[in-house]
């Protein structure tokens, strides 16, 4: 929760967020110290407006960080804490082989400027791990092809492979020459209570003679010894970030076909996390409006990036046709309980889901794990696989064998579509040309056949939807009370802007942990003393 606004300005030192963005670091700082950030600076008007909507007591500056005069904005007041999260895209490995920007790579230099002029007592910096490789650039010719097929030669700047880390070391040396002790570590958000595996470099510098302290890990893998001994809490999961009441439309009803790469990832994800899953897992699937989601599953969600890169896949047994009374909880027996009475019509269904990532060839992740890194572009999607039992009663009153054709179900008979889709994109039926009829699908090599507690199910449909901005903010560790759909001016923010600011943000739980371990403002110190 954010601290109540407004708070009387009785602190003896200022708190500054240099690259404030949408407010991830400021939120974590506020949670750590119990009061607002004093100064927030960012060049993006939309980001500053969102920050102002959530942190109204902060003084905001829409400006390039180098254009702000530290002496003027601080007005002679001491700075106790300064947080800096300079743009990381020209350090990140996600940049690939593209030329980089010298200006963007030099943004961290503003930290030295503030250290010289106002000497913050504690400085915290967050960036991608590759920030440690910050070094000189060299010019190189890049060859590409334009829309007309012509070869184009452009000169671009790239990191010099022989001098990696030289600029970073000089930058650290500058801080140390100013009297700062400097340490840095790579930390994962899931280890500190955020349901994302996002890993970042954190650097702490201080000039007050106090030791730099690294926060103790609070969460761990569910099957790890510290968790089993209850010394750590289990990772938070992707499942708890999902709004299960939002449907995932069928991939077979789309007006515009999915990209080939997306289809391959979906097929491989369904095979890995549903068809070939040795231990199906349980997750609640929301029903009517107002119904609460069922119990979550057990691992954190993947790293949240500014691109929104994950989709979800988990199995849950539900009863679809018994018609609960108004206000009655939906009947979701779960896979660990006996199946309800089998009747003549199809009343049971199995719903499966997993998180798919639409970048870098990654297939996806189990929802029992943390979500992947959220980026500034919406790349995360939820994939659900609807399943039905295949032991429907035959016309003779007995149970049909798994080799018999499936009878029409209330979910639409799409089993052939699913099987053909998985065959085309997963490729087990390699000997059959895609233009020819598919070979007979047997029980031994059946696409979409899933066995749960000895009961056979077949996938009837596959749904896909992108994760919503709210789900991504939850995965990043923001509280649900955080405003994300409009700025301080009341103007709505597009989904693209919301996702961009989420992916560019610091995970609040990690900022809170680092600040709690290293900073107590002067007023608090006097009270403790």
Q: What is the mean pLDDT of each run of 10 residues along the chain (529 residues)?
A: 52 90 95 96 95 96 94 96 86 64 80 97 95 87 74 79 92 97 96 90 97 97 93 87 79 84 77 68 32 33 42 36 46 35 34 49 51 56 67 34 35 68 68 45 57 71 82 90 95 91 92 96 55
Q: How far is CA 61 from CA 34, 50, 67, 357, 384, in A?
A: 22, 13, 10, 35, 44
User: What does the alpha-carbon distance between residue 517 and residue 400 come to, in Å, rounded to a whole number?
Assistant: 63
Q: What is the pLDDT of residue 398?
A: 31
Q: Which residues of 179-207 are buried (b: 16+ CB within 10 A; e: fewer)?
A: ebebebeebbbbbbbbbbbbbbbbbbbbb
Q: What is the pLDDT of residue 260?
A: 80
269: helix, strand or coil: helix
| Beta strand residue intervals within 369-466, DSSP E | 374-375, 380-389, 449-452, 455-466
Q: What is the DSSP letter of 271?
A: I
Q: How far is CA 481 from CA 1, 29, 185, 477, 492, in A?
A: 7, 16, 30, 12, 17
Q: Are 321 and 327 in contact (CB under 8 A)?
A: no
| Beta strand residue intervals within 360-442, DSSP E | 364-365, 374-375, 380-389
Q: Where in the sequence of the chain do the CATH 3.40.50.150 domains occur?
A: 14-132+163-229+504-528
Give 82-137 as a 3 state SS string.
EEECCCCCCCCHHHCCCCCCHHHHCCCHHHHHHHHHCCCCEEEEEECHHHHHCCCE
Run of H or E including 348: strand 348-357
Q: Are 125 and 105 in contact (CB under 8 A)?
A: no
Q: What is the DSSP letter of 255?
A: S
Q: What is the pLDDT of residue 352?
A: 54
CATH class, 14-132+163-229+504-528 region: alpha beta
Q: What is the pLDDT of residue 307?
A: 43
Token readout for 405 is: 């054709």
Q: What is the pLDDT of residue 96?
A: 58
Q: How far is CA 51 from CA 64, 99, 119, 125, 488, in A?
A: 16, 31, 25, 19, 8
Mention every residue, 6+ apart, whose C-beta is less than 8 A from residue 232: 217, 218, 219, 220, 224, 226
Token readout for 54 is: 């959530």
User: What does the alpha-carbon distance between residue 260 and residue 265 come to, in Å, rounded to a whole number?
Assistant: 9
Q: How far is CA 69 from CA 65, 74, 84, 100, in A?
A: 9, 9, 16, 27
Which residue in 244, 499, 467 sits closest to 365, CA to CA? 467
User: What does the alpha-carbon distance between residue 249 and residue 241 come to, in Å, rounded to a whole number?
Assistant: 19
Q: Are 285 and 294 in contact (CB under 8 A)?
A: yes
Alpha-carbon Rg for the chain, nearest whole angstrom, is 27
Strand partners, 496: none
User: What does the alpha-carbon distance between residue 337 and residue 488 come to, in Å, rounded to a whole number?
Assistant: 50
Write the DSSP string, 190-220: GGGT-SB--EEEEEEEE-SSPPP-PPPP-EE
Q: What is the pLDDT of residue 68?
A: 95
User: What does the alpha-carbon distance between residue 393 and residue 402 come to, in Å, rounded to a whole number?
Assistant: 12
Chain-centre distance for alpha carbon 45: 24
Q: Is the peptide bond before 6 cis (omega within 30 degrees of 0)?
A: yes
Q: What is the pLDDT of residue 296?
A: 30
**Left (φ > 0), alpha (ψ -120 to 50) or beta: where does 334 sit?**
left
User: How many CA atoms lie within 13 Å of 274's alpha carbon, on the beta-carbon side?
Assistant: 37
């Amino acid at each position: 929760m954010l601290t109540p606004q407004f708070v009387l300005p009785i602190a003896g030192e200022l708190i500054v967020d240099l690259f404030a963005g949408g407010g991830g670091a400021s939120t974590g700082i506020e949670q750590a110290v119990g009061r607002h950030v004093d100064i927030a600076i960012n060049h993006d008007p939309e980001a500053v407006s969102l920050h102002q909507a959530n942190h109204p007591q902060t003084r905001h500056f829409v400006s390039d960080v180098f254009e702000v005069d530290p002496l003027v904005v601080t007005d002679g007041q001491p700075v106790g804490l300064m947080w800096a999260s300079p743009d990381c895209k020209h350090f990140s490995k996600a940049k690939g082989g593209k030329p980089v920007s010298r200006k963007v790579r030099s943004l961290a230099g503003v930290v030295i400027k503030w250290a010289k002029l106002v000497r913050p007592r504690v400085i915290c910096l967050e960036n991608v791990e590759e920030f440690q490789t910050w070094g000189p650039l060299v010019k190189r010719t890049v060859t590409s092809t334009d829309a007309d097929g012509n070869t184009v030669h452009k000169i671009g700047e790239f990191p010099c492979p022989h001098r990696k880390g030289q600029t970073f070391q000089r930058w650290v040396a500058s801080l140390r020459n100013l009297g700062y002790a400097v340490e840095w570590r790579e930390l994962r958000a899931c280890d500190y209570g955020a349901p994302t595996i996002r890993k970042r470099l954190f650097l702490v510098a201080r000039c007050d003679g106090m030791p730099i302290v690294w926060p103790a890990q609070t969460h761990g893998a569910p099957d790890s010894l510290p968790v089993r001994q209850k010394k750590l809490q289990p990772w938070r999961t992707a499942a708890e970030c999902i709004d299960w009441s939002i449907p995932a439309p069928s991939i077979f009803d789309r007006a515009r076909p999915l990209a080939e790469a997306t289809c391959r990832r979906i097929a491989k994800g369904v095979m890995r996390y549903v068809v070939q899953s040795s231990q199906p897992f349980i997750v609640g699937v929301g029903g009517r409006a107002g119904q609460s989601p069922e119990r979550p599953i057990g691992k954190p969600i993947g790293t949240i990036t500014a691109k929104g890169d994950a989709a979800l896949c988990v199995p849950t047994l539900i009863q679809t046709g018994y018609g609960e009374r108004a206000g009655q909880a939906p009947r979701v027996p779960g896979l660990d309980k006996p199946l309800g009475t089998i009747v003549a019509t199809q009343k049971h269904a199995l719903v499966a889901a997993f998180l798919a990532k639409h970048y870098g060839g990654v297939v996806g992740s189990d929802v029992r794990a943390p979500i992947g890194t959220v980026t500034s572009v919406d790349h995360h999607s939820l994939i659900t696989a609807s399943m039905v039992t295949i032991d429907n009663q035959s016309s003779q009153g007995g149970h049909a064998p798994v080799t018999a054709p499936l009878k029409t179900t209330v979910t639409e008979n799409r089993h052939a579509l699913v099987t053909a889709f998985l065959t085309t994109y997963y490729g087990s039926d390699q000997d059959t040309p895609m233009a020819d009829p598919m070979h007979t699908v047997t029980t031994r090599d059946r696409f979409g056949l899933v066995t749960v507690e000895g009961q056979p199910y077949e996938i009837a449909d596959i749904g896909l939807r992108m994760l919503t901005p709210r789900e991504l903010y939850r995965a990043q560790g923001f509280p649900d009370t955080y405003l994300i759909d409009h700025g301080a001016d009341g103007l709505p923010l597009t989904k693209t802007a919301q996702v961009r600011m989420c992916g560019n943000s610091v995970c609040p739980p990690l900022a809170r942990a680092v600040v709690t371990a290293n900073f107590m403002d002067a007023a608090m110190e006097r009270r403790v003393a």
